[in-house]
Chain A
Amino acid sequence: MDTILECHGLTKFYGSGVCALNQINLNVGRGRIVGLLGPNGSGKSTFMKLAYGLLTPSLGDLSIAGFPVGPDTKEVVSYLPERTYLNDWMKVRDLIAFFRDFYTNFNEAKAYDMLSRLNINPNDRLKTMSKGTKEKVQLILVMSREAQLYLLDEPIGGVDPAARDYILNTILGNYNENATIIISTHLITDIEQVLEDVIFISRGEIIMVSSVDQIREEKGMSVDALFREVFRC
């Protein structure tokens, strides 16, 4: 298997002594769509931030496309954070120009194409938009980069079910076959069909890595049902 992301003994402590990730070992192959699933506070966002280089590991190592996370890997990773960092006074058109200037692999034509298919006016300002539309804009910006690894942290939380299907189709139709997408979400039912592999994470530890079809075959239940069983409160 050609590996895009690899980590060994990856550990992250936060200042107060909280252990957010504990000795994570993981290999993720190219050309896959992977679900990173776990209850609140299990370490999903911490993992994504480490992979994008927004946080540094306390222990262990993490490499992407063969390089340790750092300036070399920023180019190949496209990250959708769970909270927006974009200036809301900006127009969509300006945001696109901003991304084009910032990232050499940003495909402007693709961004405009997706905007028109989702009926978003490029001259609208972000602050005039609903929560769901803002999310769509951010996702479009992130997916319009020709990256090798996409990290999507809760990408569909605020959008309605119909748009959710549309967005999933956009993701499916637009990613290239050598790229990997890691999606963290609670809305498992909505994305289950699209996922190939799932990683269950709990309290900073990986408790299962499996393919969706393997879970269905062996347990006779959906990933969503298994999640509810494993993480029953």
Chain B
Amino acid sequence: MTWELKNDRPIYAQLIEQIKLRIISGFYRPGERLPSVRDMAAEAAVNPNTMQRALSELERDGLLYTQRTSGRFITEDTGLIEAAKKALAQEQIDAFFQKMRALGFTTPQTVALVESAAAEEVR
């Protein structure tokens, strides 16, 4: 997985999203130890203080926790990870509906289109 940072949004917010995605997708496993802030910053080519800020925020959300002497770990609470996954899915769906509305589709029309596309994919 590579770090992809866009130019028009705060870097720390993008780091949060991407680390979350890594946790949700299982790239970082529950209970796994994270690399050091410095290494993660170097890998993403960002300022270490910015990476630190992103990690602190994820810690506040409970997705990460720090063990005083041994480093920073991914939460073992799979329920919490599942909830983060659902929240992210909801965001994607909301954004999709919004885009379809901009194209002039009502929600039922969009759902019908999605259903036929899904049936197409199964076949």
Which residues from chain A sit less than 8 Å from chain B, CB to CB? Answer: 31-33, 165, 168-169, 172-173, 177, 189, 192-196, 212-214, 216-217, 220-222, 224-225
Given A216-B10, A217-B10, verify A31-B49 contact (CB < 8 Å): yes
The interface residues of chain A lying within 8 Å CB-to-CB of B9 are 216-217, 220
Nearest CB in chain A to that of B45: its residue: A193
A32 to B13, CA, bound (A): 19
A216 touches B11 (CB 8 A): yes
Given A173-B38, A193-B5, verify A213-B45 contact (CB < 8 Å): no
Offer 30 A-B interface pairs, CB within 8 angstroms, sorted by A: A32-B49, A33-B47, A168-B45, A172-B41, A172-B47, A172-B48, A173-B38, A189-B7, A193-B5, A193-B44, A193-B45, A193-B47, A194-B47, A196-B47, A196-B49, A212-B11, A212-B50, A213-B10, A213-B11, A213-B50, A214-B10, A216-B9, A216-B10, A217-B9, A217-B10, A220-B8, A221-B8, A222-B7, A222-B8, A225-B7
Given A213-B12, A213-B50, verify A172-B7 contact (CB < 8 Å): no
Which residues from chain B sit less than 8 Å from chain A, CB to CB? Answer: 5, 7-13, 38, 41-42, 44-50
A194 touches B45 (CB 8 A): yes
A19 to B10, CA, bound (A): 36
The interface residues of chain B lying within 8 Å CB-to-CB of A31 are 49
B46 touches A216 (CB 8 A): no
The interface residues of chain A lying within 8 Å CB-to-CB of B12 are 213
The 10 tightest CB contacts between A and B, nearest first, are A222-B7, A213-B10, A216-B10, A196-B47, A217-B10, A193-B46, A172-B42, A173-B42, A196-B49, A33-B47
The interface residues of chain A lying within 8 Å CB-to-CB of B8 are 216, 220-222, 225
A221 to B48, CA, bound (A): 21
